[in-house]
Chains A and B, each alone.
Chain A
Amino acid sequence: MMESLPDTRPRHITLTTTLGPAVEVGDLRVQPVARSLGLRCGWGVFVHTRPSAVLVSKEEETSRVPIIDVTRWGQAAVVLAALLSTYGLLVRAKRRKERSP
Chain B
Amino acid sequence: MNEAVSQFLQNVAKETDSRSKTFDRLLSSADASKVFAQPVTSGEYTVITASEVSSGGGFGLGLGFGLPPAPKVKTKAAATPDASGAPVGEGGGGGSSGGGGSMGRPVAAIVIGPDGVTVKPVVDVTKVGLAALTAFAAMAALTAKILKS
Contact = CB atoms under 8 A, between A and B. Distances in A.
Interface stretch (B46-54, B68-76, B80-88): B46-54
Nearest to A63: B117
Is the contact region of chain B dominated by helix, strand, or loop, or is it mixed?
Answer: mixed
B16 A1 contact: no
A82 to B, nearest CB: 3
Given A23-B112, A32-B48, A44 B56 contact: yes
Interface residues of B, number: 61
B136 to A, nearest CB: 6
Contacts, number: 177
Contact of B105 (A32, A56, A71, A82): A71
Residue from B20, B35, B107 with most neighbouring chain A CB atoms (10 Å)? B35
A3 interface: yes
Contact of A74 (B23, B51, B123, B146): B123
Given A3-B5, A32-B50, A49-B53, A79 B135 contact: yes
A43 B135 CA distance: 33
Interface of A: 1, 3, 5-6, 8-10, 14, 16, 18-21, 23, 25, 28, 30, 32-34, 36, 38, 40, 42-51, 54, 56, 65-71, 74-75, 78-79, 81-83, 85-86, 89-90, 93
Contacts of A33: 32
